[in-house]
Amino acid sequence: MIIDFRSQLRTKFAAPNLETVIVLDSCEKIQRMTGQDQGLPSFRQLFIESSTFITELESHFIVTMPINAARACFDSLLARYSSNLVTVPSVKVTERDGKTAYPDGREVLQALVSSRTAEKDWRPYFSENALDFLIHYSGGYVRGFMQAVIGACSHAKLAGNQLPIHIEPARRAFNSFVQNASAAITPEKWAILAELDDRPTRTIDLANPDVQDLLAENLILEYVNGAQSKGLFDEDAPWYAPHPVLRELNVFKSTQQKLRESKNVMERH
């Protein structure tokens, strides 16, 4: 159908070299390919095993895919499609310690909010500490940040439309995230998150299905620009961190404490 469509366009516009561009968005919504398990196996079947179906279309193909799939299938995707696989990490808003602010990243998200206001300025709508709260606890994940901004606006409206929005509506913006994440994370995944938070290298094991799930659900966030090593290429390597809201939950803190105590016992013996 695509090939016939391109041929008709070339004839209609008398443009024999006319190119077509196919954009496939939200590949995370792919549920299951026939004969494959849901998730990564179905993704592999469609984009790796059946890649000739796509390449034979002879079109420019722009795909947005889950970051866990991009990382897990990186070499195969490069071999079949392009040497230029671009991933979009979260905006770095803190250093690797999760506490020290990274001003350049925060300014990017402030500008994002400003660009969506009539005045092109976020200040009439948010107090500084409220917007900083939203930026920090979104972890720089842009979609999650904008959802939190919308949530804060909704809670402020319920409170009487008082502007600028202060810290309490900003805090309430994460209510549904906390409820859903707390219910979905297993003890094994809490252990992965807590251990990652204590790991200086901030690396993850992509072969672990639980890690893939956490990455796909944006409960582990990927960043660049923050290498601690002075190696030649280390500055370009991605690093990972638990979603900052999760760090504040008691179950995360208790899991982390247990892991630290267990590690101390092992070191003493």
pLDDT beyond 70 at 67: yes
Of 59 and 152, more confident:
152
| pLDDT above 60 (res 228) | no
CB 222 within 8 A of CB 211: no
Q: Is 10 in contact with 50 (CB distance < 8 Å)? A: no
What's the predicted TM-score (pTM) here? 0.79
The number of residues making up the chain comes to: 269
CA dist., res. 84 & res. 11, Å (int) = 32
pLDDT over threshold 70, residue 28: no
**Span 16-33, average pLDDT:** 72
Q: Which of 67-81, 103-117, 141-155 has the lowest mean pLDDT?
A: 67-81
The arithmetic mean of pLDDT across residues 227-243, rounded, is 75
Percent pLDDT > 90 in the chain is 49
Element (H, E) at 112: helix 103-114
Tokens 């720089």, residue located = 140
- The answer, yes or no, to whether residue 109 has pLDDT greater than 90, is yes
| Residues 114-138, mean pLDDT to the nearest whole number | 96
Q: Is the pLDDT of residue 229 over 60?
A: no
Do 57 and 2 contact (CB within 8 A), yes or no? yes
Q: CB neighbours of 151 closer than 8 A, spacing ≥ 6?
A: 172, 173, 174, 175, 176
Nearest to 173 by CA among 208, 139, 204, 130: 130
Please give the pLDDT value at position 214.
93
pLDDT value, residue 33: 67
pLDDT at 155: 94
pLDDT value for 105: 94
Average of per-residue pLDDT across 229-236: 66
Query: Of the spans 76-80, 82-86, 91-95, which averages the highest pLDDT?
Result: 91-95
pLDDT for 19 beyond 90: no
What's the average model confidence in pLDDT over 219-242? Answer: 78
For residue range 162-191, what is the model confidence (pLDDT) as tens digits?
Answer: 889 999 999 999 999 999 998 899 999 999
pLDDT over 80 (residue 257) = yes
Give the mean model confidence (pLDDT) for residues 55-67. Answer: 75
- The answer, yes or no, to whether residue 249 has pLDDT greater than 80, is yes
Compute the mean pLDDT over every residue in the chain, rounded to the nearest whole number.
Answer: 85
pLDDT mean over 236-256: 94
State the DSSP string of 72-104.
HTHHHHHHHT-S----------B-TTSSSB-HH
Q: Does 261 have pLDDT greater than 80? A: yes
How confident is the model at residue 159, as a pLDDT? 81
Q: Over the stretch 179-224, which tens digit does the pLDDT of each residue have?
A: 999 889 999 999 999 999 999 888 999 889 899 889 988 999 999 8
